[in-house]
Amino acid sequence: MNMTNVWLLLYISAGPNMEIIAEQKQIFDFGPTCEQAAKGRQLFIEPIGETKYVCVKVPRKSDADG
């Protein structure tokens, strides 16, 4: 079984009751590309509040996985 990975670009923010909200924005095949996208998008975020773009490496889900 060939286990490959992808990188998810997530937008993380804190809700009004300090709950953590994570939104998936994009999927990348290459980690450094995801990191560059996260850095670029972070430039456009207002410096108000607790928000951040992050990359998370996860196993690629194949059609056989369901």
**Per-residue model confidence as pLDDT tens digits over 1-43:** 456 999 999 999 988 888 999 999 999 999 999 999 999 999 9
CA dihedral 10, 22, 25, 53 (to 10 degrees): -40
Q: Mean pLDDT throughout 48-60? A: 89
Q: Is the pLDDT of residue 62 over 80?
A: no
**48 vs 1, which has greater pLDDT?**
48
Kindly list the domain boundaries of the chain, sorted by start residue: 1-49
- The alpha carbon of residue 15 and the mean position of all alpha carbons in its chain are separated, in whole angstroms, by 17
